[in-house]
Structure 1
Amino acid sequence: MTTAVTHEEQVRLFYSDGPGGEGAGQAYVSLMGDIWHHGDRDVEKTGGSVRDAALAMQQRLTRLARIQPGDRVLDFGSGPGGATVAMAKSTGANFIGVSNTESLSQQARALATEHGLDAQVNFLTLGDQDYKTLLAWPDCSFDAVIFLESVCHLPDKQAFFTAAFRVLRPGGRLVGLDWIQRPYGSYQAPEQIEEIIDPVCEYIRLAGLGTVESYADMMRAAGFEVTHAEDEFAGEPCWGSTPPADRERWLTYDGPSGELFQDGKRALDSARRAGVFSVGWWAAIRTR
């Protein structure tokens, strides 16, 4: 009897470089370096690099989280560690980065060592279902929780936000950035949007895309007071993080599972072009 593969396991294998893995970790480091998330729209518009824009977005979120030197911060979905290391350097806080893929955690640990941050930054690999409870930590363990384009992979997003509320101390803050879907232009009906977004989710192993409003609603249901809920590219197509000059590199990538990443790039570009794909960001407080 064959056991069905869970979505969470599919995500782990997608990023893994190990046996049975699809090698997204290797592909994305090759194509994007060690920071994978979108950045500040205004920095990009004024000629800043993709990395400059990403660092500016990190600074925005860490300011909203009021992170101070010595604080304890959980970075959920830390990938190869570039964003976590950068945020630790800029804030002086102590970071724990987590993912469910050990090959990513290994890359991240090596990066922390390279930057001399072993005492300030740690990277752990969680079990596939551990995001639902975060039981590795007791109540009130963190001053802040950050997510950067990771919750979109989770089938039970509400469970994650509820767990994040539990591990934050009263007064602690949740901040994050994530892929979203939205009505745009002539694409207004849910079925129109889904027709374009569904291939993105299939190729990139996403568990469906939420909206700015649905994320805020889930945060409130978990007990948070939401202070910010914004579409970074409101009113315009989201081409952030994807310079036109990079497109050919994606479409000719010939590493492990190369066709998968080429197909994913085409699907994502179609969603960007239609305007139904964007990225949102949020800030919320545990007030009690």
Structure 2
Amino acid sequence: MTNTRLHEAKVRRFYDDSDGGEGAGQAYTALMGTIWHHGARDAEAAGKSVAEAAEIMERRLMDLAGLEPGQRALDFGSGPGGATTQMAEMTGATFVGLSNTETLGQRARQLAADKGLDDQVFFLTVGDRDYRTLGAWPDGSFDAVTFFESVCHLPDKQAFFQAAFRVLKPGGRLVGLDWLQRPFGDYQTDEQIQSIIRPVCEHIRLSGLGTLDSYAAMMRTAGFDVTHAVDEFEGEPCWGSTPPEDRKKWLTYSGQSGELFQDGKRALDAARGAGVFTVGWFAATRPSSL
């Protein structure tokens, strides 16, 4: 078994709530609800709640995706389904959410049913390496592919972007948000940055963090025209989605693998404070003709 395969299996185990898993699905739902991604910086600065800022971020990306009723989208790394169902409600499009953990899929399907969206939003559990090909779908199956803070887990990010390109229709859009690293303040060299980022990756089962430029380059290598590559917290530490009052909840969480999530919170807050952690959002188009 290669190191890559070991990591991919470790990600699945991280999110798995069943016996033998580390229970991130249960922990994150208890601590954050069904929406796990960062929101729009300006919205939070204006006093909007974390949930409201997250919805504004989703709307921004859905506007760039241009999805309409009757169209189809693939949401990679759909987790408990909160963002996926909201995007379906916003656009009227049909969504297929993907996770590599069945316990997350079950939770997401129940959420869709509770919202009356189980004929519009579908959640599938895929194998650890299926992200490399998205082989269950033929070429040109979707009008949009979305990702919300999920590609950071992948050892072969380039393969995912190539697979996303293949399953998109000509003119289809790739939009997403992800965790990134960057130089900031006293942390300029890769060695300095990694001294802060490495514990985050270890505790949260990330396969290294890319940069704004590396993501855009991978998308272009896959064949996309990249229209947006934006550091949402350019020039300032990224504390978005982490209200100070939530810190105690994380550091006292005592559920399954509680110490792991406490340590992960400490590592991530250190990276936020150092400024080397940020989130960026992207939009890219599969050209209509090659």
SS at the partner of 1:55? helix
Tell me what 1:128 maps to: 128
The answer to whether structure 1 residue 175 and structure 2 residue 175 are counterparts is yes
The answer to whether structure 1 residue 285 and structure 2 residue 278 are counterparts is no
Alignment of 1:205-244 (within 5 A): 205-244=205-244
The answer to whether structure 1 residue 57 and structure 2 residue 57 are counterparts is yes
Q: Specify the code of the residue in structure 2 equivalent to 1:185.
A: G
Q: Specify the code of the residue in structure 2 equivalent to 1:277.
A: F
Q: Specify the code of the residue in structure 1 equivalent to 2:26.
A: Q
Cα distance in 2 between the residues matched to 1:118 and 1:148: 21
The answer to whether structure 1 residue 81 and structure 2 residue 100 are counterparts is no
Shift of 1:19: 2.2
Shift of 1:6: 1.3
Cα distance in 2 between the residues matched to 1:185 and 1:67: 39
Cα distance in 2 between the residues matched to 1:213 and 1:224: 14
Cα distance in 2 between the residues matched to 1:3 and 1:195: 25
SS at the partner of 2:90? helix
Cα distance in 1 between the residues matched to 2:206 and 2:254: 22
Cα distance in 2 between the residues matched to 1:91 and 1:170: 20
Shift of 1:96: 0.2
Tell me what 2:258 maps to: 258
The answer to whether structure 1 residue 163 and structure 2 residue 153 are counterparts is no
Tell me what 1:33 maps to: 33
Cα distance in 2 between the residues matched to 1:66 and 1:95: 14
Shift of 1:70: 1.3
Shift of 1:136: 0.5
Tell me what 1:202 maps to: 202
Q: Specify the code of the residue in structure 1 equivalent to 2:187.
A: Y
Q: Specify the code of the residue in structure 2 equivalent to 1:41.
A: R
The answer to whether structure 1 residue 247 and structure 2 residue 259 are counterparts is no
- Post-superposition Cα deviations, 1:195-223, rounded to whole Å, max 9, x if no partner, equal 00000000000000000000000000000
Tell me what 2:91 maps to: 91
Shift of 1:49: 0.3
How many corresponding residue pairs? 287
Shift of 1:178: 0.1
SS at the partner of 1:6? helix
SS at the partner of 2:20? coil
Q: Specify the code of the residue in structure 2 equivalent to 1:12.
A: R
Cα distance in 2 between the residues matched to 1:246 and 1:62: 28
Q: Specify the code of the residue in structure 2 equivalent to 1:215.
A: Y
Shift of 1:69: 1.2
Cα distance in 1 between the residues matched to 2:2 and 2:163: 28
Identity percentage of aligned residues: 70
Alignment of 1:5-24 (within 5 A): 6-24=6-24
SS at the partner of 1:176? strand
Shift of 1:133: 0.1
Tell me what 2:109 maps to: 109
Tell me what 2:191 maps to: 191
Shift of 1:3: 9.0
Shift of 1:36: 0.0
In structure 1, list runs of 5 or more residues that go unmatched: none
Cα distance in 2 between the residues matched to 1:49 and 1:31: 15
SS at the partner of 2:185? coil
In structure 2, list runs of 5 or more residues that go unmatched: none
Cα distance in 1 between the residues matched to 2:104 and 2:202: 21
Tell me what 1:45 maps to: 45
Tell me what 2:142 maps to: 142
Q: TM-score, normalised by structure 2?
A: 0.98
